[in-house]
Each structure stands twice: as C-alpha cells, then as structure tokens.
A and B are shown apart, each in its own frame.
Chain A
Amino acid sequence: MVDRLKKGYIIFTLFVLGLVFLGIGCTGSENSKDSFPAKKTSSENAGAQEITLKGSDTVLPLAQAEAEEFMKENPKKSVSVAGGGSGVGITALIDGEVDIATASREIKAEEIKAARANGINPVEHAIAYDGISVIVNPQNPVSELTFDQLRGIYNGSISNWKEVGGEDKPIVAISRDSSSGTYEYFKEEVLHGDEFRPDALTQPATGGIMGEVSQNPNAIGYIGVAYLDGSVKGLNLNRGNGSVAPSPENITSGAYPLSRLLYFYTNGEPSGLTKEFIDFVMSKKGQNLVSEVGYFPIKK
C-alpha cells in the first residue's frame, strides 16, 4: 500500500516536471513570437506605450533623468533605460531589442553595415554636448597640457611629470576599458592612430579613474566633465590656440578641444512614443534637464 502511494507520488512528480518543461517550452515560443515584431521596431510600434533605451554609460544619467521627467508628465507611458556602453546599445538596436540606442560616439561604418544586413536603418539624433576632462590629483602642480604633451603621456613617450613642467615623479596614465565610448573618442582625438601605452592602467568605470586620481599624486586620467568634482583637478588643454579650460561656454562653443556630441539612434525616422520621447528631450524642458545633469544643451 505504502509502495503504491510512493509510486503514485513519483508518477505525480514526473507529471508535474513534465508540465513545467512543457510550460517552459510554451513561454519560450511565445516570447520569440512576441519579440519578432520588435525586430521591425519603431514604425510598427507606433501604438506602443512602452519603449526601451540602452547604451552609453555617459548618456545613462541624462537618459534616466529625461525618462523620469517624461513619465511624470505621461504616467501611462513607460520609458526604461539601461547602460552597458555605446556598442552594447547599438548592438541591441541592430538586434531589434531596443527602440533607442544611446551613444557617446558616432555609429561606426561596420555597425551600419551590420544593421542594414539585419534590416535596420539607424537614424542619428544629437541630443547634447559632453566634454572630456583630463584630470590630475589636486596636489599636482601641472595645470595645463598641450595636445602633443597629452598624446606623449598616453602613447608612452613622456613618462615623468618634469617633462611637462611638473615635479620629478613618474606618470601613471589611466585609461578606460576598450568597451567605453570615451576610450574610443579619446584615442581618436588625442592619440591620432598611436596605441595607448601598454602599461597604462585600465579602469572598468569612471569611478575607478576618479578613485585612483584622487588618491594618487602621480596619476592622470580622463572622464566626462559631468563627473568633475573637487577631489580632482581638471586640466586646461591647448590645441595650438591657447589654453582652454573645460568650462560650459568653451564646450558648447567648441573652443575646448575635447568636446563631443551625445546621440540617440533609432531604427528609421522615429514615430509613436519614440518620437514623443525624443521631442521631449529636444524641448526646452528636456534641454534644461541636460544642463541639470551636467551636460550641455544642444538647443539654446
């Protein structure tokens, strides 16, 4: 009798397990059906009350602030924002996973090619200016660098602070990891085809660079201007037309040599909620938020 009960129990367990697997199978296929139309994104998503953004960690605080404000005004609409890096966002756009990819660099030719191959047509929307600030420890007497000096420091030809007017101390150059949009931008603008010195420290996040530079009097790093605070010193840069401070006026006017645009990328011309959201970001209110977060508005 007991044996039979146990047998019944085992059969029941197997039955339940079977149901579970069946369930997994069903939800799996439903999910794939659901996500399939998303591949063709925005244009067909016109009626959607939910959009997703993914991409640059530089754009992340801005996109989050914009999304929060937008949802406060439109309580029934939902905008979800994720980071990961510019390339991650663009890859997600190419795979049709997101409505908007955020990026701190322009889309690359090979990414456009991959997108086209997948039936995605990336459209660019510049939303704000950002500046890259070169930072040193506040104890460091150096307060200005020319572009040649900066390039020398990062390609390895300058290794002591005395060569650029500082104390006789070794330079510890800090870089971001290669998945950062800031890394690519810095490499293109400053190194002009040189490699980063192989002994440069690589930090996975802006916080890591800030931490090391604020502790270490020998260190130099680069971060978004929005992250600049009293624990580090932002250097003036000279690209041949005088020393320029990383100030808001200099960044929006383009006088500061390391200023750049931040982008949203959509599949085709935006429509529906995607368009509403981008219009909101470009509105006066949206652009005011840009300054609040620490970037610089593209529309005055």
Chain B
Amino acid sequence: MFIRNYKEEGIKYVLFFISTLTVVVLFLICLFLFRDSLLLFKEISLMDFLTGKFWYPTSVNKQFGLLPLLLGSLLVTVGAILFSVPLGIASAVYISELAHPKVADLLKPFIEILAGIPSVVYGFFGLVVLVPLIRETLNLPTGQTALTGSIMLGIMALPTIITISEDAISSVPSTLKQGSLALGATRWQTIYKVIIPAALSGISAAVMLGVGRAIGETMTLMMVTGNAGIIPSFPGGLLDPVRTMTATIALEMGEVPQGSDHFHALFAVGSVLFIITFLINLIADSIKKKYRFKVD
C-alpha cells in the first residue's frame, strides 16, 4: 500500500517536472528575446522603431522602421484569411454534413497530406508556377506580390482550418440537428442557422490557428513575396511586393554582426511577432469560452 503511494507520488512529480519544463522553456525564450530587443532602445527610441517608415539596417544612416514589415505581415495574413476561411469552412461543412461517407473518407487523407508538405516545397511551387501566372494574367510588373503570398499561405492554412472546423461541426450534438429537421427546416437552413452557430467556437479556434500559422510562416513568403520593404496600401497593395517580419529575420539573421544594433533590431522584430501571436492565442481562447457558454 505504502509502496503504491510512493509510486503514485513519484509519477506525479515526474510528470509535474516534465510539464513545467515547457513553461521554463517558454520563459527562457521570452527572457532572451526581450533582453536582446530591449538593448535596441538604448540606441533608438521605441516610437522611432514602431512608427519608422523605412527599414535600412545596414546603411550609414541606419533606420529601423517596423511599419513596412508589420503592415506587410498583416496584409499577407489578411489576404490569406480572406482566401482560406470561406474555402475551409465550406469544405468542412461538405465533408461532415453533405458528402457520402465514402467520399469523405477519400477526401480527408488528401487534406492531411496537404498539411504535411514542407513550406519550402510550397515556396518552390509558388515561385515556379504561381509567380509567372499572376504576372501574366494580371499584367503586373512582377508576379512576386503580396497576393501570391496570400494564396500560398491560404493553401497552407487550409488543412488546419478544415480539420479543426470539421471536428467542431461533427461534435455538434445530433439532437440539435434532428430537432431542426423535425421542425421542418431544410438541410441548408439547418446547416447555416443551427450547425454553424453551434460549432462557432471551434470554427473560430480553427480560423485563429490558421492566422497563427499564416503570420509565422517564413520560407514560402520569402520565396514568393519579393521582400520589398515598402509600406503597402490596402487592398491595392496586394498587387505589390511586400516584406514580412518573418522573412526579414530569415533574410538578415545570417550576416548580422552579433551584438550590433541591427542584431538587436531583428530581435525586436521577433518580439513584436511573439507578442502578436500571443495576443491571437488569447483572442482565440476568449472567443472559445464565450461561445461555449452560449451553446451549453
């Protein structure tokens, strides 16, 4: 009996240790990220960094303006969401509500394969196929645009959005659906007035995770968006090249002298990215809680 208790306690502590390890890792990442970014603000003011319009990290008059990079990231992400959310939710509804079970079983593995393709392969595909296509069909000076990045990101976010939305839709209690149909609602009315509202918490979580994936994506964007550090307009800027925060870090981290302003500026960009994804997660969480309460 005693031995058993010790064993139980032992396992508890081992598991406690392992789970706190994640917290420690997160804490250390924050610590190093913020420590190095704060060093930048000894040299330039926070306002100059946040509102600066030019990113010239290696010139004589160094300028570390976050604005073009931040807006570039946001533009590409918004474009990706506009593209992938309707498609993703429509596919999820089709797979879970309308498709013949055999068709659904056939479609699902393909969607999962889509999620397994490495981002550099997406980037290569975008560069070779989509970039020339966009330049020729839209008659643009170059095909390396925010739109190209948005489409690629949208495709990459689709599996996340479809799988999680589909889970949410499937887990709507069948009593709700049957009740709706019994009251004389058509299938379509049931889907958009009963099932989708009931699954909204899961669908929102899916969208937020899609946003998270999109804003953190690096390789694909570096290959297809052209990386021009200009402040994009909306929506016209979708047809211009943009540079995202992630691509900037990836492009410049290789050569930057350690401990220089440029080095700290890249860490500061990383911190901004971190804070944004953190906020997105918080929002996703709060949406989830709010809607769950309603359905229950």
Q: Within 8 Å of chain B (Cβ to Cβ): is A91?
A: yes
Cα-based distance from A169 to B251 in the complex (angstroms): 29
Cα-based distance from A177 to B248 in the complex (angstroms): 9
Number of A residues with CB within 8 Å of any CB on chain B:
40
Which one of A42-50, A81-89, A123-131 is at the interface? A81-89
Within 8 A of B (CB), among A175-196: 177-180, 184, 193, 195
Q: Within 8 Å of chain B (Cβ to Cβ): is A33?
A: no
Q: Within 8 Å of chain B (Cβ to Cβ): is A3?
A: yes
Closest residue of A by beta carbon distance from B231:
A198
Within 8 A of A (CB), among B117-141: 127-128, 131-132, 135, 141
* Chain B residues whose CB sits within 8 angstroms of the CB of A66 once the complex forms: none
Q: Within 8 Å of chain A (Cβ to Cβ): is B197?
A: no
The answer to whether residues A179 and B255 also contact, given A3-B3, A198-B54 and a CB cut-off of 8 A, is: yes
Cα-based distance from A289 to B4 in the complex (angstroms): 73
Contact with B along A193-207 (1 / 0, CB 8 A): 101001111111000
Which one of B43-51, B56-64, B166-174 is at the interface? B56-64
Q: Within 8 Å of chain B (Cβ to Cβ): is A99?
A: no
Q: Within 8 Å of chain B (Cβ to Cβ): is A292?
A: no
Which of A14, A85, A169, A170 touches B255 (beta carbons < 8 Å)? Answer: A85
Closest residue of B by beta carbon distance from A86:
B255
Interface centre among B54, B227, B243 (most CB of A within 10 A): B227
Closest residue of B by beta carbon distance from A14:
B14
The answer to whether residues A180 and B228 also contact, given A3-B7, A4-B3 and a CB cut-off of 8 A, is: no
**Contact between A202 and B59, CB atoms less than 8 A apart:** no
* Chain A residues whose CB sits within 8 angstroms of the CB of B60 once the complex forms: 193
Within 8 A of A (CB), among B180-194: none
Given contacts A203-B227, A211-B127, A215-B143, 4 further A-B contacts (CB under 8 A): A201-B144, A212-B131, A216-B141, A218-B141
In the A-B complex, the 6 residue pairs with the smallest Cβ-Cβ separation, listed nearest first, are A179-B255, A202-B227, A87-B255, A177-B251, A201-B226, A170-B141
Q: List 15 A-B contacts (CB under 8 A).
A: A91-B257, A179-B251, A179-B255, A195-B54, A198-B55, A198-B68, A198-B229, A201-B142, A204-B251, A211-B127, A212-B131, A215-B135, A216-B135, A216-B143, A218-B141
